[in-house]
Structure 1
Amino acid sequence: MARLAAMDAREAALLLKGVREATLRGGPSPLAPRADIRESWQRMLRKGVDPDRDHRSRLLSSVELERRRSASPLAELLPLLREGLMAAPGSASGSVPHIMVVADADGRVLWREGSPAVLRKADGHGFEPGADWTEATVGTNGLGTPLVTRRPVQVHSAEHFVSTHHSWTCAGAPITDPRDGRLLGAVDVSGPLATMHPATLLLVSSVAKLAEAELRNRHFTALERLRSVAAPVLCRVGGRAVAVDAHGWMAAVTGMPPVGRLTLPRGFGAGRVLVPSLGRCAVEPLPGGWLLRVEDDEDGAAVAGGPGRVVLDVSRPRRWSLEVSGGAGGWTQELSPRHAELLYVLARHPEGRSAAQLAEDVFGDRTRTVTVRAEMSRVRRTLGGVLAHRPYRFREEVEVILRHPDDLSELLPHSTAPAVVAARGGAASKL
């Protein structure tokens, strides 16, 4: 990358074109492609994407596009994204030589704005609202690739897998919901080669983090409002009770130690509900959340049904979940990228793993036990009753079913964890 930075745009484009052509032929290359780009090219070859053919998707209908825009939490972040990215390095007199593009988690373009000339150029490639800009449709790019890797990515000229995009440079970053770790989409800055600044990727990454921080601040404000409503209610409640928001985050509690977040079962609503880690609860609505009263038996113990079966689903490319079921009911929890990695390793090792072993499995460094213990503590609080420790493992009485992609080279494509890379290794042959 340092070598590219020292070149002008034309020289860098020519070098990258040579790298791409040599790599696709399987011959010696003047420069090794960057890791994220190489792995993306491998995915494109496995999927059979034609590197020399322009790919287009059917656009969403105007009704569906507006529905997605209205439902997306990214809509309220547009002013922040615009302020951060529409005055990027290289702009002059308030006019930017690029466009900002925002896509949802499915890779569908929801919004674009910026230079009219660049917007017209984007139209010529089908890069317009409602288009599918995932890797599988248009190849390696600044929107679709960050949705796979969960990391900021810059795609310069011939780093685009499809040759018709080589006149572009794109820098994109994913945006996740801090309330539940759900992938919301990605933001991208795209433009002609000569107009893009070397600092664009850093800028896009920083603005994406600011967007996530804004969502986090709004969440804290909503929790404070719920707390002000719930506090007087809890003062009148006997026994154990807790007020949580729709995502399970705790706003107020009485009669038991506070925790950060509870896992709420699917179909959660008013009535008698089995809640992981609490047991059977009477649930009542509150403005902005729910009141949960824990129902105790005659001895004061929580009425609960232990989990009997868990299904760890890592078969999808961007969303992973753990489904828990037992005699008293069931629930499903979506997983963050890190928790998906940890639980995948534990599912592959029913005998259990020590903190040092998990540190090596996930970070490639046996000394990172403090980080592992902190993560596993969060996982165990969230997935109450499913996991044991010393060593970390799924409980022996729980049946564990692991669902992974049919092609293991597609397993958790974002992950750089050595255990996951090793599982992918045999299937993802070197280019």
Structure 2
Amino acid sequence: MSYAHLDTYSRLLRGAHEAVATGGAWPESPRNLIKASWRRSLDAGIDLEGKSAPLVYDLASIGDIRKTHPLQPLLPLLAQTLSGLADETGHIMIVTDSDGGVLWREGNHSIMRHADRIGLADGHQWGEHDVGTNGIGTALATGRPVHVYSEEHLMRVLHVWSCSAAPITDPDSGRVIGCVDVSGTARSLHPATVALVAATAKLAETQLAVRMHERDERLRRRFESLRGRPGILLSSTGRVITGDPGGDLGERVHLGKQAGSRLILRDGTAALLEPFSDGFLLRPGPAAAPPGLTLSLLGEGTPTASYGDDARPLSLRHAELLALLALHPHGLTAEQLSFHLYGDDGNPVTIRAEIHRLRGQLGGAIAAKPYRLVCPVEADFMKVRRLLSSGDPAGVARAYPGPLLPRSESPELRRERDELEAQVRAFLLRRGGPEELWAYAQTCNGRDDYEVLERLAALPPTDLRSAAARSRLHS
């Protein structure tokens, strides 16, 4: 991009910044990647006038954290590839953990002194939820290499900087374990630097894969020494190494908190998990029913999911993904999920990252290719539909605390929400008595529903529900 184009783009970004700061409409938006990152950052409460990334590691103990991090053995490779370039061109190389915490930094000493002022230094954290849009945080949030230029940063203090960053995924666990970044002053760092940074991240992943295969081979040799003893060999992360020729378990088994004990596999069979060398052995166990997934997504409260005995609150995005998968039992691709959530503006990469996090929480409940729920599912909104079909007004009133994910802007979920709301209202007006109408009047849409309140106001004057309805009608 030429300097003339950069100047034009910078003016556009400054106008968008002023609109964000004053709460006005954006006159023109930055490119889609940055626009989405700004929205995530603003939702996280990022202060545009913030001055520095937070310090999250005690510098006295950061050495111990580095020693145990899986990227530590690869630091010489990363430094050889990037830090020489960074030093010669007035830039710095950063390597972080999976949350954006800076573990290593090398490069130009003059630039490092400037970087100290904004916390671009050891022990400080650069996730989007910490400092807003930036190369490290946005690469980790999207799961892809990114270049963030000057005013594309949301915090004004970062406008003199540009950065190119790429996430690094561990092939053993399948999880992002860190990020590599080159940062410098805005116009000295060419956008093409992101290609070199991305290639360096891929090189690191290749080396991690080589080390993984070496560990696998050592485990296989020890496993073969058991001479036919039955079992399936897993890595320490649950990845299937050998013993499952039909591929029934998929690529990995979710170990969760059950390592060393009894597991329920995704086909509903039980197995015993035994520590074996640096991994695990799965052995046949007594049959058992697979755990079920229960979704509570109706009403204004926090959506929740219960998987087996484990109940947890859900973010809106995870609740939306689970609702869509429940509505599509045969599964959806990342592209389809993205379209159902965002329409044409969706990004399948973001969906894959969110599904990866969700699978980490719910283990074997979600399969891939396509993404689908592979366990018994009970969702409150699906239960309401069944009760409507069975003609049970009391059951509908008890089971319907309010609309499906009322904060969701997903096009498909909005349609599902509106249709379910209309059906519940019409059914209770037609078939419901005072108890059922009063229950509906406690929902967010029923509180001010004129027809429902008129029905309740017609109850005997001694009925407290009648007085409450008349009060709402005249308020």
The structure 2 residue matched to 1:141, chosen from 134, 141, 144, is 134
Note if 1:162 corresponds to 2:155: yes
Q: Secondary structure at the match of 2:225?
A: helix
CA distance in 1, matches of 2:167, 2:369: 33
State the shift of 1:52 in Å: 3.0
In the alignment, the residues of structure 1 paired with residue 80 and residue 95 of structure 2 have an alpha-carbon distance, to the nearest angstrom, of 14
Change (3 A) 1:123 1:422: farther
Residues 334-384 of structure 1: CA distance to partner in whole angstroms, max 9, x if unpaired?
xxxxxx999954533535355678853346799xxxxxxxx9xxx9xx966
Kindly provide the amino acid, as one letter, of the partner of residue 147 in structure 2: Q
Which residue is equivalent to 1:305? 289
Does 1:197 find its partner at 2:190? yes
| Amino acid in the other structure paired with 1:32 | S
Q: Which amino acid aligns with 1:36?
A: L
| 1:367-406 deviation digits (Å, cap 9, x = unpaired) | xxxxxxxx9xxx9xx96687799996555x443589xxx9
1:125 aligns with: 118
Give 3-state SS (helix, strand or coil) of 1:125's partner.
Answer: coil
* 1:203, distance to aligned residue in structure 2 (A): 1.4
Aligned with 1:73 (options 62, 70, 74):
70
* Structure 1 residue 291 displacement after superposition: 2.5
What residue number does 2:29 align with? 32
Amino acid at match of 1:108: G
Number of paired residues?
Answer: 367
Contact 2:260 2:273 (C-alpha < 8 Å) held by counterparts: yes
Q: Is the 8 A contact 1:59 1:131 kept in 2?
A: yes
Could you tell me which amino acid in structure 1 is paired with residue 308 of structure 2? S
The match for 1:289 is: 279
Higher share in strand: 1
2:44 is equivalent to residue 54 of structure 1: no
* DSSP 3-state at the match of 2:65: helix
Cross-structure match for 2:337: 361
1, 7, 17: which one pairs with 2:4?
A: 7
2:78 touches 2:200 (CA, 8 Å); kept in 1? yes
**Greater length-normalized contact order (CA 8 Å, ≥ 6 residues apart):** 1
CA positional deviation for 1:119: 0.6
The counterpart of 1:207, out of the listed 193, 197, 200, is 200
Alpha carbons of structure 1 residues 112 and 9: separation in structure 2 relative to 1, 3 Å: farther
TM-score of the pair, normalised by structure 1: 0.69
Distance (Å, rounded) in 2 between the aligned partners of 1:128 and 1:391: 39
Task: Name the stretch that deviates more: 16-25 or 286-295.
Answer: 16-25
C-alpha spacing 1:127/1:418, structure 2 compared with 1 (3 Å): farther
Q: Which residue of 2 aligns with 1:42?
A: 39
8 Å CA contact retained: 1:276, 1:385: yes
Aligned residues of 1:55 and 1:137 also touching (Cα < 8 A): no
Amino acid at match of 2:228: R
Provide the rounded CA distance (Å) in 2 between the counterparts of 1:98 and 1:421: 47
Report deviation, 1:241: 1.8
User: Match for 2:277: what amino acid?
Assistant: P
- SS at 2:326 equivalent: coil
Question: Is the 1:59–1:130 contact (alpha carbons within 8 Å) kept by the matching residues of 2?
Answer: yes
Residue 311 of structure 1, CA deviation: 6.9
Q: Between Structure 1 and Structure 2, which shows a larger proportion of helix residues? A: 2
Rate the CA distance shift 1:242–1:359 in 2: closer, same or farther, 3 A.
same
Larger mean Cα displacement after TM superposition, 213-222 or 349-358 = 349-358
Query: Quick one: distance in 2 between partners of 1:389 and 1:183?
Result: 20
Paired residues for 1:272-421 under 5 Å: 273-277=263-267, 279-295=269-285, 303-309=287-293, 324-325=307-308, 345=321, 347-348=323-324, 350-354=326-330, 360-362=336-338, 395=375, 397-399=376-378
Q: Does 1:236 align with 2:219?
A: no
Q: Deviations over 1:255-293 (max 9, x none)?
A: 976755341433344455545447333444332222322
Question: Over aligned residues, Cα RMSD in angstroms?
Answer: 4.4
**Segment drifting more, 279-288 vs 216-225:** 279-288
Pair member with larger Rg? 2
Aligned partners of 1:99 and 1:191 also within 8 Å: yes
Q: Is the 8 A contact 2:91 2:111 kept in 1?
A: yes
TM-score by length of 2: 0.64
Contact 2:128–2:138 (Cα < 8 Å) also in 1: yes
For residues 79 and 421 of structure 1, the distance between their equivalents in structure 2, rounded to whole angstroms, comes to 51
Q: The residue matched to 1:197 in structure 2 has which SS?
A: coil
Whether the 8 Å CA contact 1:241–1:255 is kept in 2: the answer is no
Gaps of 5+ in 1: 296-301, 314-320, 333-339, 367-374, 412-416, 424-431
Distance 1:242 1:311 in 2: 32
Contact 2:333-2:371 at 8 Å conserved across structures: no
Change beyond 3 A, Cα 1:191–1:8: farther
- Aligned partners of 1:171 and 1:245: how far apart in 2? 33
Q: In the alignment, residue 236 of structure 1 is paired with which amino acid?
A: G
Q: Distance in 1 between matches of 2:111 and 2:70?
A: 26
Q: Which moved more, 1:251-260 or 1:67-76?
A: 251-260
For 1:264 and 1:389, the matched residues in 2 are separated by: 17
Q: Secondary structure at the match of 2:187?
A: helix
Quote how far apart the aligned CAs of 1:146 are.
Answer: 1.7
Query: Structure 2, unaligned stretches of length 5 or more?
Result: 298-303, 345-354, 382-404, 417-475
SS state at 2:184 partner: strand
Question: Match of 2:182, SS?
Answer: strand
2:95 aligned partner: 102
Q: In percent, how many aligned pairs have the same letter? A: 31
Indicate the larger mover: 206-215 or 184-193.
206-215
Q: Which residue of 1 aligns with 2:384?
A: none
Q: Alpha carbons of 1:269 and 1:39: their partners in 2 closer, same or farther (altered >3 Å)? A: closer
Tell me whether 1:171 sits opposite 2:155 in the alignment. no
